Amino acid sequence: MIQRIQTLYLLIAAILLGALFFVPFAQIAVKDGAIYRADLLGINPEGINKPELFPFNWLILLIWGVSMILLVATIFLFKNRKMQIRLSIIDSIVSLIITGLIYLKIWSVAKQLSGTYAFTVYLVFPVIAAILIYLAIRAIRKDELLVRSVDRIR
């Protein structure tokens, strides 16, 4: 059901994780003055679209895709609240794993290039999505308790 608050939480989380595909989430400044931009497709010099320079880890891209599929599937599982809770827990953990893997990749590339890195605000999107998924889990549990209490009255 679209009008439930947990659906809105999950939808906003899906939008935040989906936006992560289109925005750069870090910059690496090298000592020679070059600036590298990092997004889900790769780490490239600013203004050049060559993902083959430092291609991003396929594992991160795969986990991101699985996370998006889980979120969309969770939204449409509103009739099976227990499964919705399970998938939401898995997806919140996966969102936090995405953030950790991105941090490790940026750190390792910055170490290779002997540069400094700076994260943009977009790297916080998976963390915010995990918080929204947690709020959705609480709302789903509240619905489950309400249904159980109504069944007990009958």
- Find the DSSP H helices in 20-124: 58-75, 81-113
Provide the 3-class DSSP secondary structure of residue 98: helix
Q: What distance in Å separates the CA atoms of residue 40 and residue 48, rounded to the nearest whole number?
A: 15
- pLDDT (mean) for 115-138: 92
Q: Residue 119 is inside which H or E element, if any? A: strand 115-119
Cα distances from 82 to residues 52, 78, 91, 140, in angstroms, run 43, 9, 14, 9
Q: Average of pLDDT values for 122-147?
A: 91
Secondary structure element (H or E) that encloses residue 26, with its range: strand 26-30
In tens, the pLDDT along 79-101 reads: 888 899 999 999 999 999 999 98
pLDDT at 135: 95
Task: Give the Cα separation of 87 and 80 in Å (integer).
Answer: 11
Which residue bears the tokens 């919140």? 92
Mean predicted lDDT score pLDDT of the chain: 85
pLDDT for 33 = 82
Q: Which domains does the chain possess?
A: 5-153 (1.20.140)
Tokens of 95: 């969102």
Specify the pLDDT at position 48: 64
Rg of the chain over Cα atoms, rounded to whole angstroms, equals: 19
Residue 45: its pLDDT value, please? 79
pTM here is 0.85
Q: Is the pLDDT of residue 3 over 70?
A: no
Residue 138 is predicted with a pLDDT of: 93
Name the pLDDT band for 112 (thresholds 50, 70, 90): confident
Write the pLDDT tens digit of every residue in 29-86: 888 888 888 888 777 777 666 555 566 678 888 898 999 999 999 988 888 888 999 9
Q: Is 67 helix (H, G, I), strand (E, B) or coil?
A: helix
Provide the 8-state DSSP code for 57: P
Position 111 pLDDT exceeds 60: yes
